[in-house]
Amino acid sequence: MTNVVSPSTKHTQTPAATSRFAGQHIHLIGIGGCGMSGLARLLADRGAHCAGSDSVASDLTAALQEAGIPVAHDQSKGELPDACDLIVASAAIKPDHPELLAAQDRGVPIISYAEMLGAIQADATGVSIAGTHGKSTTSAMLCHVLIECGLDPSFIVGATCPQIASGRIGGSRAGAAVIPGQGPYAGRAGLVIAEACEFNRSFHHHRPTLGLINNIEEDHLDIYGSLDQVVRAFAEFARLIPEEKVGGRLLIAHEGAHRREVTTGLRCGIETFGFSPAADYQIVADASVQRVGLLQEGHWLTQWTNRMPGEHNAQNASAAAIIAHWLGADWDGIGAALESFAGIERRMQRLGTRTVGGGDVVVYDDYGHHPTEIEITLRALRAAEKPERLICVFQPHQHSRTRFLLEQFAQSFSEAEVVIVPHIYFVRDSEIEKQRISAADLVDRLRQRGVSAMHLYPFEAIVEQLENICRPGDLLVIMGAGPVWKVAHQYLALRD
């Protein structure tokens, strides 16, 4: 494996004197998330005096405090630092939050995480990674390739990837003030790579020079109401990319991203990628879908072996490769970097094995919480691991998503012999929405399709059930965007 260059020994941070945020006292509410903690670090690297609060103490908040960024955990009093020029609020913060009310009383300006990220991108060469699925994985792959190829990006990635965090907990890094190398963007303001989340149309605050749209599907229907509205939102995101003559470029999936509706009327450069020979960049792969290559007009560009199996990860890696090349990385370096990419936490993460009855149970943890993510992940893991049985513990994330996509969820577990469903993770929805659907509704649909399914809670009860049913040759996959990851770690801890 090639060595990751440490920021402390290579990169040149954005000079504080050139940043509009230098000297400002900025308070971040909900600072404990990957995105918000990464944003705090980027602002501090640009000369801002950052502090924040979060209701939950975590490794991320502890790491921020070690880096000199104070974090408070009692938000109930609505206390802000004496010096406070600007408030940045996480998307999870509600309008009646005590600190937001205190800021309003004091007349302190308030902006969202996405608005601040857009402001940082506006002073840089922004690269925004969009799509219903694969944003964190693709962003981490791209950042790893750029680091390995000497292009030194700044970034915020919404998951922990030890290879790119350079010792930091979370996914952020302050890179060079200008883009190095000899590529078409060399000498421009430094790179800022970020995931472009479509929830609540937050990606409309981005200011990208280059953009990716990897896929578009029904999701966040509590916000959008229909797939047509989701597609329109992605089209509006694409219109943020500047015209081609000043470097604006969009990479969009040839299939699965509604490219005709999205790209109509765009002034930026547009190229497509995918498995179709009609795509501008054609992805080719062997039967395992782990040996992957890229072709352009029939000519080989590069090839590599993906450590993360599945067609979706071949597509994620290919998108990262193409954008890295646009930014000046050479194809040989790109292939070598992707070959060494080891993955990120909670994305098809192989946690280990547990010896049971003289054989092993293989345990994976995955963030998948959308029907398509579940289906393609379970299919890829079955093909890679070839288990006797696949047992999945899936925690639905958000009641409205579960209700809107209930039939799709029921179809997505065809690869599993056993599915265990805890309570739906309650986030963002109203109490009224919470009463409209339960985990038992999903279990009923799964049983109607012939899947052995059960609803169990709390997590300790699920671990006890796994103790009873797991046997040698099983593949155990823990899935969901909530705290269900604890089940995997509790189950594995029993091996000691």
Q: 366 pairs with which residues across the strands?
A: 479
Q: In the chain, where does the domain assigned CATH 3.40.1190.10 lie?
A: 123-340
- Which CATH code fits 20-112? 3.40.50.720
Closest CA to 195 of 149, 161, 169: 161
Query: pLDDT band at 445, cuts 50/70/90?
Result: very high
What spatial distance separates the first Cα and last Cα of the chain, rounded to whole Å? 30
Question: Taking 90 as the threshold, does the pLDDT of residue 89 lie above it?
Answer: yes
The whole-angstrom separation of Cα 438 and Cα 415 is: 23
Judge contact between 193 and 35, C-beta under 8 A: no
Q: In the chain, where does the domain assigned CATH 3.90.190.20 lie?
A: 349-493
Fold of 123-340: UDP-N-acetylmuramoyl-L-alanine:D-glutamate ligase (3.40.1190)
Strands 269-274 and 281-285, bridge-based pairing: parallel
Question: Taking 60 as the threshold, does the pLDDT of residue 167 lie above it?
Answer: no
In Å, the largest CA–CA distance within the chain is: 66
Query: pLDDT band at 11, cuts 50/70/90?
Result: very low
**CATH class for domain 349-493?**
alpha beta
Which amino acid makes up residue 120? I
Q: In the chain, where does the domain assigned CATH 3.40.50.720 lie?
A: 20-112
Query: pLDDT band at 172, cuts 50/70/90?
Result: low
The whole-angstrom separation of Cα 255 and Cα 200 is: 25
Query: pLDDT band at 481, cuts 50/70/90?
Result: confident
Judge contact between 429 and 399, C-beta under 8 A: yes
Residues above pLDDT 70, as percent of the chain:
94
* pLDDT one-digit tens code per residue, 264-288: 999 999 999 999 999 999 999 988 7
In the 8-state DSSP scheme, what is residue 435?
A: T
Query: pLDDT band at 20, cuts 50/70/90?
Result: confident
Query: pLDDT band at 13, cuts 50/70/90?
Result: very low
The whole-angstrom separation of Cα 403 and Cα 406 is: 5
